[in-house]
Amino acid sequence: MSVAVRFAPSPTGLLHVGNVRLALVNWLFARKAGGNFLLRLDDTDEERSKPEYAEGIERDLTWLGLTWDRFARESDRYGRYDEVAAALKASGRLYPCYETPEELNLKRASLVSQGRPPIYDRAALRLSDADRARLESEGRTPHWRFKLEHTPVEWTDLVRGPVHFEGSALSDPVLIREDGRPLYTLTSVVDDADLAITHVIRGEDHVANTAVQIQIFQAVGGAVPVFAHLPLLTDATGQGLSKRLGSLSVASLREEEGIEPMALASLLAKLGTSDAIEPRLTLDELVAEFDIAKVSRATPKFDPEELLRLNARTLHLLPFERVAGELAALGLDDADAAFWEAVRPNLSRVAEARDWWAVTHAPVAPVADDPAFLAEAAALLPEEPWDLSTWGTWTGAVKARTGRKGKDLFLPLRRALTGRDHGPELKNLLPLIGRTRAQKRLAGETA
Ligand code: GLU
């Protein structure tokens, strides 16, 4: 049987690092096993689901290279959920309940105040036909709960190991709302069963759902998949990420923070595993290194500073072809491999290349506070064409003529040629600046 996994976001907001990590882990798992990856939009919450969020999810996954082999949308499948619900009603596993939210809150509060778990008391199961008829004549419409079997539920989780729940310790879940809409707990199982999902890899916030859903799989006659529940990412202080979603959305990491897709993927593939975090330039490398057994149960911390450092290390390795589009989008259409190789060691974000483009291709006000020395150096500038050896030849001649060396030799030249104290190696920059500009800058002119 071939491996099939799914990533099932609700299009009710932007994808953030926590969600997309689960997408990535599912995708890597599928690729490693030669299986397939389904993107499923859990969009049955019609008030909160928005087309722009669905588009955003597809854009973010595409940007990361997480292509999907299959696509499904829950809102296309209401007919199927109705069919399954009808069968569960017929077999008595789905029963009508008439409590209002207020009544349920009171019941819960009373149980909690007695120190008991807030498990639904199944009062609705004790209603007679006459009771139901009366409630309905009062205008109440039922919601429907799934009748759990009070037996142990067990599975071997790929991350958590053996997991055990007692059915009697769980509340019968509501699967159909009062307005007839099916809820996630049901729809997810129907989809996973119909689409032959073999492995459900999701966050540990779903562990209790899994116990319930295993019984639903059994009730609808679906094969129970293998489960893996990953600990959720927290921030550096151990707080959940949910409060800071805005700044940690994939869209803002891409558009505002200038994060490269492979930097994000390299971090998220390894966070919370026993592997060291290293920049990788292709998803194939991450597939080769992936093994779900490396995912630890400890809570992984997401640190934006670590991501930015990894972004810098990624840029230092990326070849020109991989950033040409981004450079063009910055307006640097004429940037070439020589420019990119000269400046990439100094970048944390591609957008910073603009500053170095200005140094090599636009007028710069030089810092020329040692004019006599700079004039001597200018007189020794070799004729063009210039290449990567020109800087060495030229500064060798300047050294021989002036007797200067080290910082005394190089710093005044750097400050005159670039207007700054630091930057990419001048061996690489000098041919890009060119002889005409170099001569003027050494003479203290803005050029
Ligand atoms: N739509 C659910 C969520 O985003 C999917 C959970 C699951 O993977 O089953 O939490």
**d(CA 81, ligand 1 centre) in Å:** 17
Q: Where are the alpha helices (DSSP H) in 318-370?
A: 320-329, 337-343, 353-361
Is 407 labelled as part of a ligand binding site?
Answer: no
Which range among 38-52, 79-93, 235-249 shows the weakest confidence by mean pLDDT?
235-249
Contact 186, 216 (CB under 8 A): yes
Contact 435, 417 (CB under 8 A): no
184 pLDDT band, cuts 50/70/90, is very high
Q: Which residue, by CA, sits nearest to atom 6 of ligand 1?
A: 8
279/235: higher pLDDT: 279
Q: From the alpha carbon of 192, which atom of ligand 1 is closest?
A: 9
Q: From the alpha carbon of 10, which atom of ligand 1 is closest?
A: 1
39, 126: one domain = no
In this prediction, residues 192-201 reach a mean pLDDT of 98
Q: What is the pLDDT of residue 361?
A: 94
246 pLDDT band, cuts 50/70/90, is low
Q: Is the pLDDT of residue 193 over 70?
A: yes
In the three-class reduction of DSSP (H, G, I as helix; E, B as strand; rest coil), residue 304 is classed as helix
46, 176: one domain = yes
Q: Is the pLDDT of residue 242 over 80?
A: no
- Whether residue 422 is contained in a domain is answered as yes
CATH number for 404: 1.10.10.350
CA angle 97, 90, 136 (to 5 degrees): 35
135, 259: one domain = no
Q: Is the pLDDT of residue 243 over 60?
A: no
> What percentage of the chain carries pLDDT values higher than 70?
99
Q: Which of 83, 107, 141 is the last residue of a domain?
A: 141
Residue from 25, 42, 53, 209 to probe ligand 1 pocket by mutation (most atoms less than 8 Å from CB):
42
420, 305: one domain = no
244 pLDDT band, cuts 50/70/90, is low
Give the tens place of pLDDT for each residue, 55-109: 999 999 999 999 999 999 999 999 999 999 999 999 999 999 999 999 999 999 9
CATH number for 233: 3.40.50.620
For the entire predicted model, the pTM comes to 0.94
Strand partners, 249: 16
10 lines ligand 1 (CB under 6 A): yes
- Whether residue 447 is contained in a domain is answered as no
188 lines ligand 1 (CB under 6 A): yes
Q: From the alpha carbon of 22, which atom of ligand 1 is closest?
A: 8
Strands 94-97 and 143-146 turn out to be: antiparallel
238 pLDDT band, cuts 50/70/90, is confident
> What percentage of the chain carries pLDDT values higher than 90?
96
Q: What is the pLDDT of residue 440?
A: 98
Residue from 14, 206, 214, 232 to probe ligand 1 pocket by mutation (most atoms less than 8 Å from CB):
206
186 lines ligand 1 (CB under 6 A): no
User: For residue 377, what are the domain limits?
Assistant: 371-442
Q: Which residue, by CA, sits nearest to atom 5 of ligand 1?
A: 8
125, 254: one domain = no
224, 106: one domain = no
Q: From the alpha carbon of 202, which atom of ligand 1 is closest?
A: 8
Give the tens place of pLDDT for each residue, 256-287: 999 999 999 999 999 999 999 999 999 999 99
248, 276: one domain = yes
**d(CA 205, ligand 1 centre) in Å:** 10
Q: From the alpha carbon of 9, which atom of ligand 1 is closest?
A: 4
Which range among 138-142, 154-158, 241-245 shows the weakest confidence by mean pLDDT?
241-245
Which range among 147-156, 191-200, 240-249, 259-268 shows the weakest confidence by mean pLDDT?
240-249
Q: How far is CA 116 from CA 268, 340, 396, in A?
A: 39, 65, 84
**d(CA 8, ligand 1 centre) in Å:** 5
- Whether residue 235 is contained in a domain is answered as yes
Q: What is the pLDDT of residue 240?
A: 84
Give the tens place of pLDDT for each residue, 316-326: 999 999 999 99
**d(CA 407, ligand 1 centre) in Å:** 59
**d(CA 19, ligand 1 centre) in Å:** 9
Q: Is the dihedral of CA 273, 274, 280, 286 positive or negative?
A: negative
- Whether residue 438 is contained in a domain is answered as yes
**d(CA 97, ligand 1 centre) in Å:** 25
Rounded CA-CA distance 435/447 in Å is: 11
- Whether residue 39 is contained in a domain is answered as yes
Q: Is the pLDDT of residue 237 over 90?
A: no
Give the chain's domain count. Answer: 4
**d(CA 185, ligand 1 centre) in Å:** 9
72, 152: one domain = yes
- Whether residue 184 is contained in a domain is answered as yes
Q: Which residue, by CA, sits nearest to atom 3 of ligand 1?
A: 9
Rounded CA-CA distance 185/22 in Å is: 19
In this prediction, residues 155-184 reach a mean pLDDT of 97
Q: From the alpha carbon of 7, which atom of ligand 1 is closest?
A: 8
- Whether residue 366 is contained in a domain is answered as no
Token output for 76: 């296309």
25 lines ligand 1 (CB under 6 A): no
289, 189: one domain = yes
106, 86: one domain = no
227, 296: one domain = yes
| Consecutive H or E run containing 193 | helix 184-194
Q: Which of 317, 332, 349 is the last residue of a domain?
A: 317
168, 261: one domain = yes
- Average of per-residue pLDDT values in the chain: 96
**d(CA 228, ligand 1 centre) in Å:** 13
**d(CA 40, ligand 1 centre) in Å:** 9
Q: What is the pLDDT of residue 247?
A: 66
Q: Which of 284, 317, 350 is the last residue of a domain?
A: 317
8 lines ligand 1 (CB under 6 A): yes
125 pLDDT band, cuts 50/70/90, is very high
- Whether residue 301 is contained in a domain is answered as yes
42 lines ligand 1 (CB under 6 A): yes
Residue of 160, 144, 272 whose CA lies nearest to 211: 160
Q: Is the pLDDT of residue 21 over 60?
A: yes
Q: Which residue, by CA, sits nearest to atom 4 of ligand 1?
A: 9
Which amino acid, 164?
A: H
Contact 330, 353 (CB under 8 A): yes
